[in-house]
Structure 1
Amino acid sequence: MAIPSKEVPVSVCIPVYNGALHIRDAIQSILNQTVIPQEIIVSDSGSSDGSENIVREEARKAQATLIILPTKTRGMVANWNSTIRAASGKYVKFLFQDDLLHSTCLEEMVKVAESDKRIGLVFSPRDLFVEPSVEDDWITRWLQQHQNLSASFGNLKISQPGSLLLRSPDLLEQPLNKIGEPTAVLVRRDLFDKVGLFNENMRQLVDMEMWVRLMATSHVGYIPAALSSVRVHARQATSRHTTEEIDR
């Protein structure tokens, strides 16, 4: 792969907690992008497994500025928000510690975001990588329901008013989160000043609640090709199962 030379105004935000198993691969997926992000921001919420040391090792390889926020026990959603507060790029691109960005993710998402100044959120489908330890009847059903999250939105365009998507007749049908996990999303940074940060008082559907706020105030950009891979492992599966029971 050729070494990228073009920088894009993106802050890649990586909240970390005991992510040593996969954080190196996550950061490597940023270093393998076809463009260079303005900065990479890592916020560690008190990991005890050496995650921060791995991040520092990877920082030496990065062409982009890599900022490691002081280690502090913050809680999951507060850790997400700490990366947003530190972001100085025009756009925020989330990457969770277990996930991966495909090599053209930043380039393609920024291209769509820049094509229409009304766009505040860009999303695309994501690939799901299920570890063998969670392959059971429940996860099979979950995958069938959550593989194509945005199907009920119909024929999505490159750009459409978020308010139009909020009027979808199937909006409150499962799956409730029709945009996807934060790893599948890019957000214009200034919109967080307008709608606020993620709600730290919520236990479930934190990301979906944020997407609704963003859709109510801006256009939404869509890319039909998967640009990220989201990992589903045993701990996540337990959490997702609990979420599903709560939603019923």
Structure 2
Amino acid sequence: MTATMPLISVIVPVYNGETTIKETIESVLNQTFVNLELIVIDDGSQDSTLNVIANIQDSRLKVFSYKNAGVAISRNRGIKKAGGQFISFLDADDLWTLDKLESQLKALQSTPQAAVAYSWVDYINAEGEFLHNGNHITINGDAYKQMLVENVLENGSNPLIIREALIQVGGFNQSLTPAEDWDMWLRLAARYEFVTVPSPQILYRTLSHSGSTNVLKMEKVCSQLIEQAFNRAPASVQYLKKRASGILYYYLIHKSLESNNSSQNSIAAMRFFYNTIRYDASVWQWRIMLKTIIRISTLFLLSPLLYQRFKAVYRRFYAKDSRQLQHNL
């Protein structure tokens, strides 16, 4: 008797994820939609990641180990192993709400012209505690123009994609890590329509040691992505290029302020602030601009311990403005 192929393939790349991989895997296996396979691509982990996974018993879980090659190649390896008609990706430290796959699949099935379904994002800390809302942007239909200026989906753990569409646009570009997900969503948006599930179903974990905290590398790669994207974009959207750069530097300010205190981050934040104004000052609201200047100044002046205390006080009293800063990205 031939086994029934799963409808959805979930691909989880992991490298040294011993502290979070169990919770991440459980957020997939406990989904309300059950006709799935979970493909874990171990990217040469040196910790106890594989031992943790070995203690999880579920026939839908498949594990493949390789030498370390990075997240883009790991996702591409997972695509080759996937048998589902739909594919979704989940990073090894992020989580989904239990109805994520079911909701996104229903959205695609009820919107046959769309090839990508995505949900809203909320941010959590290392302990899984809520930090702040994501952008919560809703796009139903053509997402290309907005995706040119910002990563609407915010991370690599978000969409459910029709497999054939994913194959048509090609794999993840390893030269664009840590922005390889934005590049992929942009290439999909250039050819296919999107549909939104207007609910925060992706819980993106912010970790001080994650690749996304390397703001200088992110600046270089995202600037390269913007240049490449607008080189192949039609003349009718070239006016958006400065807006894209302005939003990028606005985002990099936030990443600098959330990273561990260092003179490098404070100097980078000052430069990012200048570039935001140079490219597109309209992203600012004066009140948020003033508070951002204060935070950059304290990052430069305070010791790491005092800066961490300052951040805690800032979050307590200015949480609303912090959410507004994120919403404007």
Q: TM-score surpassing 0.5? A: yes
Alignment-derived partner of residue 317 in structure 2: none
**Secondary structure at the residue paired with 1:68?**
strand
CA 226–240 in structure 1, closer or farther in 2 if over 3 Å, else same = farther
TM-score by length of 2: 0.60
CA 238–160 in structure 1, closer or farther in 2 if over 3 Å, else same = closer
What amino acid does structure 2 have at the position aligned with 1:166?
Y
Alignment-derived partner of residue 90 in structure 2: 95
Question: What is the RMSD computed on CA atoms of the aligned residues?
Answer: 2.4
CA distance in 1, matches of 2:195, 2:207: 29
CA distance in 2, matches of 1:199, 1:245: 17
- Residues 196-248 of structure 1, C-alpha deviations (whole Å, 9 max, x = no match): 00012223421111111101111101011011211001112763533554454
2:141 pairs with 1:160: yes
- Residues 99-138 of structure 1, C-alpha deviations (whole Å, 9 max, x = no match): 1110101110111111122211111111100348xxxxxx
Structure with greater proportional helix content: 2
Alignment-derived partner of residue 197 in structure 1: 171
What amino acid does structure 2 have at the position aligned with 1:77?
A
Alignment-derived partner of residue 63 in structure 2: 68
CA distance in 1, matches of 2:66, 2:173: 21
2:143 pairs with 1:148: no
Deviation at 1:30, TM superposition (A): 1.4
The gaps in structure 1 that reach 5 residues or longer are 1-6, 133-139
Between the two proteins, what is the percent identity of the paired residues? 27
CA distance in 2, matches of 1:243, 1:70: 27
The gaps in structure 2 that reach 5 residues or longer are 224-248, 250-329
Alignment-derived partner of residue 260 in structure 2: none
2:117 pairs with 1:122: yes
CA distance in 1, matches of 2:217, 2:198: 27
**Secondary structure at the residue paired with 1:93?**
strand
2:198 pairs with 1:224: yes
Task: Pick from 14, 17, 23 the counterpart of residue 16 of structure 1.
Answer: 14
TM-score by length of 1: 0.78
- Contact kept, 8 Å, 1:8 with 1:35, in 2: the verdict is no
Q: How many residues align?
A: 215
Alignment-derived partner of residue 29 in structure 2: 31
Task: Pick from 164, 175, 178 the counterpart of residue 152 of structure 2.
Answer: 178
Deviation at 1:24, TM superposition (A): 0.4
Q: Return the structure number with greater relative CO, CA threshold 8 A, min gap 6.
A: 1
